[in-house]
Amino acid sequence: MVQTVLRQPDSRLRIPSIPLEQNEVTSKEMKSLIQDLIETMHAEHGVGIAAPQIGVSKRVIVIQTGQKPEVFFNPKILSASFRKVNSEEGCLSVPGMFGIVRRHSRVEVEAWNEQGENVRIKADGLPAIVFQHEIDHLDGILFIDKVIRFTTKHTL
């Protein structure tokens, strides 16, 4: 079901999310949370969403920069490029605001996938940015905390 996206300054967006146990990942409750996250992301035309954005303080993110949404549990940045890029971002939880954030151009992320398997992803371009933005949500961080300049249009 499409859920209400919490909006800044809702304090629940600032709660650090809890890591999941491996047996939680494939539970029925989790399947329903994943479905809610995907439906909500689609309804809001986002390229990513994190569970705390719908009021669930658990380390789950969904990213969709291609055809299909991908789900990651307990995602962790293992390594990041020295090179950074200016990323123009918006956020479903900060409607109507856009700005430039410095992000690593490449990241390597370790997580569990929907089957509970350990995966490592090397991301660059848009997926690298979305991983950093969504993982920030799990730590209670919003892009407006890191913005170097607000802009009027958005590209993400």
| Residues constituting the chain | 156
Distance CA 66, CA 110 (A): 19
Cβ-based nearer residue to Zn ion, 86 or 118: 86
Which residues are tagged catalytic?
A: 134
> At closest approach, how far in Å is the CB of 116 from Zn ion?
25
Interactions with Zn ion, residue window 41-80 (CB under 5 A): none
Position 30 contacts Zn ion (CB under 5 A): no
Cβ-based nearer residue to Zn ion, 116 or 140: 140
Cβ-based nearer residue to Zn ion, 71 or 91: 91
Distance CA 76, CA 133 (A): 12
Segment contacting Zn ion by CB under 5 A, of 22-30, 35-43, 65-73, 89-97? 89-97
Omega prior to 9 cis, within 30 of 0: yes
> At closest approach, how far in Å is the CB of 110 from Zn ion?
21
Position 147 contacts Zn ion (CB under 5 A): no
- Reduced 3-state DSSP string for 72-120: EEEEEEEEECCCEEEEEECCCCCCCCEEEEEEECEEEEEEECCCCCEEE
> At closest approach, how far in Å is the CB of 99 from Zn ion?
12
Distance CA 87, CA 105 (A): 9
Cα 82 to its chain centre, rounded Å, is: 21
Position 91 contacts Zn ion (CB under 5 A): yes
Cβ-based nearer residue to Zn ion, 63 or 91: 91
> At closest approach, how far in Å is the CB of 18 from Zn ion?
19
Q: Catalog residues that contact Zn ion under the rule CB under 5 A.
A: 91
